[in-house]
C-alpha cells in the first residue's frame, strides 16, 4: 500500500506502522521515539513523542483523523497522508512532550553516564525550547541497585517501560514492573526478580536515558572520549557480537550493537557485557559505525585533538536562539566558536 509522509510517498506492506514507513524513507521524516523500541514486543504508545497528524486516513476514507496519532503503533492504510515535521500542531505538541519529560528530570547531565548518547538530550535539543517554565520542586526517588551490575536512578527515568518489556521478554512469567501511579510511579523492585538472569544487562542498552547504567562502567569516562570498536567472541550464551568501548588500551565498557535508530540488534549476555573486559577475550573487527551527527564520532580515528570540533560546527549550523537568561551559552556567541576544522 501507498503512504505519504511529509510529501514523500512510499510503498509498504500491509501492517506497517507509520513509524516503520517513515524510517524507511529516512531520518528526516522519521518521528522521534522515546518509548517505542522495535525489537521489544508491545513497546510504544506511551511517551507521545511520535505523535503525527494524519490529514487523510486512506484512499477509501480520506477524512483526516481528529487527533494526533502515535506513529509507532498506528498502522498505515492505503493512501494515508501523514504530516510529521511539516505540521505546526505536531511541532507545538512535541515541544510540550519535551517539556513534560523534562519537568521532573534532574538535568544532571554533567554527572550522568548517559550524556552524549542520551535520547532525551537529542529529543530536547531537536524538538524542545531552551527555556523552562517550571518553578516547581522536582519529584525525587531513592537510587537502587538492580543486582551487582546495574544501577537504577529513578529520577532520570521517563517511564518508557522498555526495561519492563525487556524483563518480560527475557524471563518466564510476568514480571510486574511499575509500582504506584502518575508522576509518583516508579520502576519497581520486582524487576529485581528479572535481574537474576543472564541477559539482564540488556535493560541498560534499551534505556533511552541514564536511569539504568552499567556499574562496571560508572563514572569511568565521558562517552565521547571513548572509542567504539566492533568485536566478537564465541560465546555459548549469545551471538557474541558486541561493541567494545576503549579508552586508551583499556576496554571500559561492552554493549550490544545498535541500528541507526539506537535499537539493539541482538541482546548480549551478561558474561560478554560485564566479565569480558580484556582485548584478548575478543576478535576485533574494526571501528564501529557511529552516526556523523553523534558527539561520539567527534575527534575519532586519527584525530589527535580532544576538542570536539564537529558537533560544535554542526550545532552552529543548526543553532537556534537560546533564550535562557540564567546562562548564556557559548553557542550564542558565534565569535567564540573554535575555528572550523577543514
Query: For residue 175, is it left (φ>0), alpha (ψ between -120 and 50) or beta?
Result: beta
36: partner contacted, choices other proteins, ligand FES, none (Cβ within 5-8 A by kind): ligand FES
Instruction: Kindly state whether residue 128 participates in binding ligand FES, applying the rule CB under 6 A.
Output: no
Range 89-128, binding other proteins (CB under 8 A): 93, 96-97, 99-101, 103-104
| Interatomic CA distance for residues 271 and 239, integer angstroms | 12
Segment interacting with other proteins, rule: CB under 8 A, options 16-24, 65-73, 111-119, 147-155? 65-73
| Interatomic CA distance for residues 45 and 37, integer angstroms | 10
| Interatomic CA distance for residues 223 and 115, integer angstroms | 7
Instruction: Kindly state whether residue 167 participates in binding ligand FES, applying the rule CB under 6 A.
Output: no
Q: 268, 214 in Cβ contact below 8 A?
A: no
DSSP letter at 274?
I
185 or 303, CB closer to other proteins?
185
Instruction: Kindly state whether residue 197 participates in binding other proteins, applying the rule CB under 8 A.
Output: no
Instruction: Kindly state whether residue 332 participates in binding other proteins, applying the rule CB under 8 A.
Output: no
| Nearest distance in Å: CB 96, other proteins | 3
Among positions 45, 57, 96, 147, the unique one binding ligand FES when judged by CB under 6 A: 45
| Interatomic CA distance for residues 291 and 268, integer angstroms | 22
Among positions 19, 29, 47, 229, the unique one binding other proteins when judged by CB under 8 A: 47
Question: Count of CB atoms within 10 A of residue 138's CB?
Answer: 13
Q: 32, 22 in Cβ contact below 8 A?
A: no
Instruction: Kindly state whether residue 81 participates in binding other proteins, applying the rule CB under 8 A.
Output: no
Q: How many residues bind ligand FES (CB under 6 A)?
A: 13
Label residue 187 exposed, middle or buried (CB < 10 Å: 0-12, 13-18, 19+): buried
Instruction: Kindly state whether residue 72 participates in binding ligand FES, applying the rule CB under 6 A.
Output: yes
Q: What does the angle CA 101 – CA 103 – CA 106 come to, to the nearest 5 degrees?
A: 95
Return the bridge partners of 81, or none.
4, 56
Among positions 22, 29, 34, 54, the unique one binding ligand FES when judged by CB under 6 A: 34
Instruction: Kindly state whether residue 116 participates in binding ligand FES, applying the rule CB under 6 A.
Output: no
Instruction: Kindly state whether residue 63 participates in binding other proteins, applying the rule CB under 8 A.
Output: no
Among positions 1, 22, 25, 51, the unique one binding other proteins when judged by CB under 8 A: 51
| Interatomic CA distance for residues 218 and 182, integer angstroms | 30
- 3-class state of residue 328 by DSSP: coil
Binding residues (CB under 8 A) for other proteins: these are 45-49, 51, 67-68, 70, 73, 93, 96-97, 99-101, 103-104, 133-137, 139, 158-159, 161, 174, 176, 178, 180-185
Give residues in contact with ligand FES (CB under 6 A). Answer: 33-36, 44-50, 70, 72
Amino acid at each position: 500500500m501507498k503512504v505519504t509522509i511529509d510529501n514523500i510517498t512510499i510503498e509498504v506492506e500491509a501492517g506497517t506502522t507509520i513509524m516503520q514507513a517513515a524510517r524507511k524513507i529516512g531520518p528526516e521524516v522519521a518521528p522521534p521515539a522515546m518509548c517505542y523500541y522495535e525489537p521489544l514486543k508491545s513497546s510504544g504508545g506511551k511517551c507521545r513523542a511520535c505523535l503525527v497528524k494524519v490529514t487523510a486516513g486512506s484512499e477509501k476514507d480520506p477524512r483526516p483523523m481528529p487527533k494526533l496519532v502515535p506513529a509507532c503503533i498506528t498502522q498505515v492504510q492505503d493512501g494515508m497522508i501523514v504530516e510529521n515535521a511539516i505540521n505546526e500542531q505536531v511541532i507545538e505538541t512535541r515541544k510540550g512532550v519535551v517539556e513534560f519529560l523534562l519537568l521532573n528530570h534532574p538535568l544532571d547531565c554533567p554527572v550522568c553516564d548517559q550524556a552524549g548518547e542520551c535520547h532525551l538530550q537529542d529529543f530536547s535539543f531537536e524538538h524542545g525550547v531552551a527555556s523552562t517554565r517550571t518553578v516547581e520542586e522536582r519529584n525525587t526517588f531513592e537510587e537502587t541497585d538492580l543486582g551487582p551490575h546495574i544501577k537504577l536512578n529513578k529520577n532520570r527515568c521517563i517511564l518508557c517501560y522498555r526495561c519492563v518489556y525487556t524483563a518480560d521478554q527475557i524471563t518466564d512469567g510476568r514480571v510486574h514492573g511499575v509500582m504506584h501511579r502518575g508522576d509518583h510511579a516508579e520502576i519497581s523492585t520486582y524487576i529485581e526478580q528479572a535481574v537474576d538472569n543472564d541477559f539482564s544487562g540488556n535493560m541498560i542498552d534499551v534505556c533511552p536515558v541514564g536511569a539504568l547504567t552499567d556499574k562496571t562502567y560508572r563514572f569511568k569516562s565521558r562517552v565521547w572520549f571513548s572509542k567504539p570498536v566492533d568485536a566478537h567472541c564465541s560465546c555459548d550464551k549469545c551471538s557474541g557480537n558486541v561493541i567494545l568501548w576503549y579508552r586508551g588500551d583499556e576496554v571500559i565498557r561492552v554493549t550490544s550493537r545498535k541500528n541507526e535508530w539506537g535499537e539493539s540488534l541482538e541482546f548480549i549476555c551478561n558474561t560478554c557485557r560485564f566479565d569480558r573486559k580484556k582485548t584478548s577475550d575478543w576478535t576485533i573487527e574494526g571501528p564501529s559505525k557511529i552516526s556523523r551527527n553523534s558527539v561520539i564520532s567527534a575527534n575519532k580515528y586519527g584525530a589527535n585533538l580532544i576538542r570536539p570540533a564537529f558537533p560544535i560546527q554542526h550545532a552552529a549550523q543548526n543553532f537556534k536562539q537560546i533564550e535562557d537568561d540564567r546562562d548564556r551559552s557559548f553557542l550564542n556567541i558565534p565569535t567564540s566558536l573554535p575555528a572550523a576544522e577543514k
